[in-house]
Amino acid sequence: MKPPQAFSMGAGFKIKTKDGGGGAPAPPSGVKIEHRIGIQASSDAIWELIYDLSTWKDWNPLYVEAEGQVRIGSALALKMVLPGDEPMVIRPTVLEWVPYEQLHWRLRLMGGLVTTTRYIEIEQLGPASCVVSNGEIFGGLLGPYVAKRMGRKVWRGFEAMNQALKDAAEQRWRAEGGAPTSDA
């Protein structure tokens, strides 16, 4: 039997089914939606914005309010606004975090019929050059259905968040005397 194939519905929009087979620990299975963006700033400048949840309201159009601490097992309270939808408060639990590299959390919806693993990962390419992967894996019995139904809105939310993160991180990097940026 052939494994499911990934498909692209637009630049940077990917939905991929993981089979989780062999070798290393299996990644979460389900449907993956991800947006990636290049940011010309240090991973420090990017991480400071991600880590400080209290400032998300100042720059983040997807999560307009955020409370909690970035600690493994800690509960967060996030007011999420997907494009075209009413705001919704979600209460995920921090799964993992590595300073200057990644933040992962898990959310269970509909009595566990939908389980999502959300991630924001920073890949440093150089002193002032990073790629940020912003995505979510939809698992559980109804996860693939929810991902298919809401995928475009979720991706647009990730895209808006990434662009706002890029703008804020590059502005912070410039203010701290860093260069170059994508505005140069």
User: 36-175 adopts what CATH topology?
Assistant: Alpha-D-Glucose-1,6-Bisphosphate; Chain A, domain 4 (3.30.530)
CA distances from 42 to 51, 144, 158, 163 (A): 14, 35, 20, 16
Average pLDDT over residues 28-50: 94
Contact between residue 119 and residue 104 where contact means Cβ atoms under 8 Å apart: yes
Confidence band for 15, pLDDT divided at 50, 70 and 90: very low
Q: How many CB atoms are closer than 10 A to CB 15?
A: 20
Name the 3-class secondary structure at 117.
Answer: strand
Mind listing the pLDDT tens digit for each residue in 51-105?
999 999 999 999 999 999 999 999 999 999 998 899 999 999 999 999 999 999 9
Q: Distance between CA atoms of 81 and 78, rounded to whole angstroms?
A: 10
- pTM for the full model? 0.81
Confidence band for 9, pLDDT divided at 50, 70 and 90: very low
Report domain extents, the chain.
36-175
Out of 15-29, 127-141, 161-175, which region has the weakest mean confidence (pLDDT)? 15-29
Sequence-separated (6 or more) residues with CB below 8 Å from residue 11: none
Of residues 45, 83, 72, 30, the one with CA closest to residue 165: 45
